[in-house]
Structure 1
Amino acid sequence: MKKLFVLGAGVLLFAFAACNKKDNGPDYDPNAQYDIDSAKIVAYIQANNIQNVQHDSRGLFYQIVKPGGEQKPNGVASVKVGYTGTLLDKSKFDGKDTAYFDLNKVITGWTVGIPKIGKDGEINLFVPSIYGYGPYANGPIPPNSVLVFNVKLYDFVNK
């Protein structure tokens, strides 16, 4: 009886773990999703007549509003920023007048994008979902969402 109970508990634990496993699903293709997101970003940029948007080698779209100082943060810098985050439908999901982050502890879109400006710079980031939260929802952000950020870099400390 005791062996049966332990075996049953083990099966239940395995089943519970399998049900709670984060899975992108068999149809999730990050390259295909990037292509979808890129088309959405280009359409958004055109529809909103946004000028001087650049596209870097990693696939991030960005617009430097103000370049800021010559020295730039590295990918692990501690930064002091003000920002607004919206979805492509312009609904705001987050924003702060002042916030502090380590660039190695935020979404990849920020890790790649923020070092493109210096102190007192400002940038608009158009973040494909693979550089945001991917196929997962995060609070008010649906899965596979393109994120748009306006970020002002007040200060930083490189590590």
Structure 2
Amino acid sequence: MNKNLFWLIALSFALSFGFASCAEDTTVEDPYANWEVRNDRYLDSIADVARTHPGEWEIYRNYKIADGSTTPGLGGSSVSTNPFETPPSANDSVYMKILEPGTGITPLFTDSVSVYYRGKLINGTVFDQNYTGDLDEEIHVPSHLAMQTKRTDGQLVDGLIVGWMTALQHMKEGQRVELYIPADLAYGESSQSSIPANSMLIFDLKLEKVIHPKGIENYSLKVK
């Protein structure tokens, strides 16, 4: 056999073996490995930043946690300036980085809201949005959402996740925030179509308008 041909065959065999070995050794990393732990650590880092930057950030406790108020929807208290008032668990509060101040009214528990939003996970995966690219209010259309909805049995229930309900009751029309919601105030241990269980949710959220209902009969039967 031609000597050069022999070495060419040997080299091809070696390369083929090498590629096969690399393919066997290469594993695809699970992007959601240790997901709960990673989300907990991310939340702790956000809470630390928010607590040390009052003014730039606002922290509001879950509105369902009583603070002495007997009025429905007024259970969330600010803990942005006093660390001793901070709930024992970072999971009890939402964290808002102020991007644009608002000058309008603040929605009540019984109102509906018109909002622009983009939601993503801690790894940057966008799971929902009502605009693409940079927000342009002349082009993009806001979503109209009921803070409360009426079930078929007539009972009023939250129309939004607890984290949104908490944040919106402290926002003003025109305000835009980067909102961080712990998994406990979102979907908790339940997964959604594009949201794994134990996910902290991050929203770019702008409150465009507050819509007062004309009466109890005007409540939406479902979120629009």
Change (3 A) 1:45 1:112: closer
Deviation at 1:76, TM superposition (A): 2.8
- Measured against aligned partners, the alpha-carbon deviations of 1:14-50 in whole angstroms (never above 9, x if no partner) come to xxxxxxxxxxxxxxxxxxx8x9855422335789xxx
What secondary structure sits across from 2:103 in the alignment? coil
Match of 1:54 among 47, 52, 58: 58
Q: Which structure is richer in relative contact order (CA contacts within 8 A, separation 6 or more)? A: 1
Q: Are residues 1:81 and 2:101 paired? A: no
Which secondary structure state, in structure 1, belongs to the residue aligned with residue 195 of structure 2? coil
TM-score (norm 1): 0.67
Counterparts of 2:46 and 2:124, CA distance in 1: 10
Structure 1 segments (4+ residues) deviating >4 Å: 35-38, 44-47
The Cα shift of 1:153 comes to 1.0
Q: Hey, what does 1:5 align to over in structure 2?
A: none
Could you tell me how far 1:67 is from its partner in structure 2? 2.6
In the aligned structure 1, how far is the partner of 2:171 from the partner of 2:60? 14
Larger Rg: 2
Percent identity between the two aligned chains: 22
Pairwise CA distance, 1:94: 0.3
Q: Where does residue 103 of structure 1 map in the other structure?
A: 147
Within the candidate set 34, 42, 60, 1:40 is matched to: 42
User: Corresponding residue for 2:169?
Assistant: 115
Equivalent-residue separation in structure 2 for 1:138 and 1:107 (angstroms): 13
Length-normalised TM-score, structure 2: 0.49
**Which structure 1 residue ranges, 5 or more long, are not aligned?**
1-32
Please tell me the root mean square deviation across aligned C-alpha atoms, in Å: 2.5
The structure in which a higher percent of residues are strand is 1
Question: Structure 1 residues 38, 67: CA separation in 2 closer, same or farther (over 3 Å shift)?
Answer: farther
